[in-house]
Structure 1
């Protein structure tokens, strides 16, 4: 299919000449005599590239560019200004607004073609890179989610089949044990599905939404009892004992109770997941000036400092080395909630294998 170019130019002679020359070079060209008509055409039939004059009546090229860049379906379309204005301030304004290039009138056909080809090639590289990242995300999502969903589902189906097919062979203790494992598997599966929905919800929130206020407004108390409540929830989901050392100084922090509970749940779950053997988890909380530090430490898989910037859904670090549980959603959720409050998240690992995740909240002082 021929490359689609939209030419927005109010001078009829330039418009017709450029359109004819580009058509002879194999491009499919549509034209518009002003900005409003050009925007309408672009929205109805998105082009592969836009050529646009700057000085036009009613709606100038800068306004056209702003409208194009604010339209989701057109935001990445290469945009080249055609201009008789060569002052640096005019060029800078166009580039800052999101123009990809500009041509100064009068221009030659050769310079026009070179500029168009350069921008189309760059767009093709961007598109190829995007497709490669999407394919990598698809593979990662498939690999991680298949393991994360199938493992608890297999437990549910396996124990249910045993109980249905051989229920007379099991005593009460065996039956209760299997029912407990079915419940734990169901809770793990529910959490995975809930986190999938929740991260999508968080990624769509902006500061004007009421849901943004829900996660950012409010205060919460952090103390040993709050921590123990979250440990109990993780223990029920995992159906195993969790050895924790709790040294938490009571404080009130500027963070909603919902966010604090979610953050604690995800970080305790992660600490259990990546602990080695029967080593205990250490949870500490202490005030420092106007801030409150909450730290959760475990001994096991190391976390490299540079991986903090790579925290994202379905991203697992050193997966080729470690056979991991989880989908990478937990840390992504924590990081997103903390970003809302502009709170700090640090992760440090020692050579001995201890990893500490520390969050700094702002205290609410009397």
Structure 2
């Protein structure tokens, strides 16, 4: 049964609403002030809230603000019911996250229609969230065992050899096996971190409040950060001479850790899919209030259908190239860009060149 919380300080109106909702077979709960309303909403988790604005001590705006700041109650549909009819009050309610705004006296048919619309909209949102979670669960279940098994086998295999053959091995052989164990361990660690990050990004994408919080971060010296991260990536594969940078300074509404992740994945891909001695060009520029970060390489490239079908856990032509990795890099970059109001664009000529562009809005402050 659908649970509806009514927060109304006028007893007559409160009782009328309870009678109407119960007659329509809703599980209606009513409280007489804002403080009680916030407490009951947190405890009972209603499917919808109807709230008066003009109440003593804690008014409707305060109730809405308190509930929207709590993850457990942030997504509950919220309908204001009030005698205030000016546009300023209406706009204030909507800015705080109200879903609808009805003025007193309100006809029962108007209220019931508003409730029906909000419940149906919430049902669609819940269905989309469930679908995303199911897709995420299926993707992880399908690909995680294989991706983790490969580096784990390296760790177990070489460590077993060391344990059983240690007395017969030469120092150089021991050193080589330890290096292989370390390489496999680092790969396993990065795989786990990327799987966890992708899961986190997918969950954030279903929560407007978390998206808003994500965009409140700022990075001042974007050019310095990009230079530092890109240099670190190419150094790991001894390709410092291949790196060419041409960057513009700008302030971005993105955290340093997320911007570093974008650079890490793009430069890692450029290194993996091109041969040493070929250039990796990284540029940034401001164009029409957008920050455009481009990473280009002279590698094998991607076909149009591969770009179009870009998705999580997908790795193109794996049987041909046996390229290590979960294929999550580009989709992680794409999700980070989208969550910050941006996008990812790929331009590629197979066997000649690939340019990946991340476009982010610039800080308007």
What TM-score results when the alignment is normalised by the length of structure 2? 0.69
Distance 1:331 1:272, change over 3 A: farther
CA distance in 2, matches of 1:333, 1:145: 19
- Report if aligned partners of 1:246, 1:283 keep a CA contact under 8 Å in 2: yes
- Report if aligned partners of 2:270, 2:295 keep a CA contact under 8 Å in 1: no
- Report if aligned partners of 2:344, 2:356 keep a CA contact under 8 Å in 1: yes
Q: 1:17-28, aligned counterparts within 5 Å?
A: 17-28=16-27
CA distance in 2, matches of 1:124, 1:28: 17
| 2:242 equivalent to 1:246 | yes
> Equivalent residue of 1:356, what SS?
strand
Q: 1:176-195, aligned counterparts within 5 Å?
A: 178-194=177-193
| 2:281 equivalent to 1:284 | yes
Distance 1:143 1:333, change over 3 A: same
Distance 1:186 1:298, change over 3 A: farther
Post-superposition CA distance 1:52-77 (Å, at most 9, x none): 12233333323322222222211111
CA distance in 1, matches of 2:258, 2:102: 51
Unaligned stretches of 5+ residues in structure 1 = 236-241, 361-366
- Report if aligned partners of 2:266, 2:330 keep a CA contact under 8 Å in 1: yes
| 2:231 equivalent to 1:231 | no
- CA shift, 1:23, in A, is 1.7
Distance 1:322 1:87, change over 3 A: farther
CA distance in 2, matches of 1:357, 1:17: 60
Unaligned stretches of 5+ residues in structure 2 = 205-209, 360-365
CA distance in 2, matches of 1:320, 1:22: 55
CA RMSD of aligned residues (A): 5.0
1:59 alignment partner in structure 2? 58
Aligned residue pair count: 342
- CA shift, 1:132, in A, is 0.5
- CA shift, 1:355, in A, is 0.9
After alignment, is 118-127 or 323-332 more displaced?
A: 323-332
CA distance in 1, matches of 2:284, 2:102: 59
1:155 alignment partner in structure 2? 154
- Report if aligned partners of 1:245, 1:281 keep a CA contact under 8 Å in 2: no
CA distance in 2, matches of 1:166, 1:257: 46
- Report if aligned partners of 2:265, 2:329 keep a CA contact under 8 Å in 1: no
Q: 1:193-212, aligned counterparts within 5 Å?
A: 193-194=192-193
| 2:31 equivalent to 1:32 | yes
- CA shift, 1:21, in A, is 2.4
| 2:95 equivalent to 1:96 | yes
Q: 1:343-358, aligned counterparts within 5 Å?
A: 347-350=346-349, 352-357=351-356
Post-superposition CA distance 1:9-29 (Å, at most 9, x none): 122111112112212322222
After alignment, is 13-22 or 166-175 more displaced?
A: 166-175
CA distance in 2, matches of 1:106, 1:343: 44
CA distance in 1, matches of 2:316, 2:347: 21
- CA shift, 1:250, in A, is 9.1
- Report if aligned partners of 2:221, 2:249 keep a CA contact under 8 Å in 1: no
Q: 1:1-366, aligned counterparts within 5 Å?
A: 2-162=1-161, 164=163, 178-194=177-193, 220=224, 230-234=233-237, 246=242, 248=244, 265-275=264-274, 281-284=278-281, 295-302=295-302, 315-316=312-313, 319=315, 322=318, 325-326=325-326, 328-329=328-329, 332=332, 347-350=346-349, 352-357=351-356
Post-superposition CA distance 1:269-325 (Å, at most 9, x none): 2124344xx685422367999x998744142242879979x99xx824x55765662
Greater C-alpha radius of gyration: 1
CA distance in 2, matches of 1:122, 1:108: 22
Distance 1:110 1:167, change over 3 A: same
After alignment, is 343-352 or 13-22 more displaced?
A: 343-352
- Report if aligned partners of 2:222, 2:250 keep a CA contact under 8 Å in 1: yes
1:363 alignment partner in structure 2? none
CA distance in 1, matches of 2:141, 2:198: 17
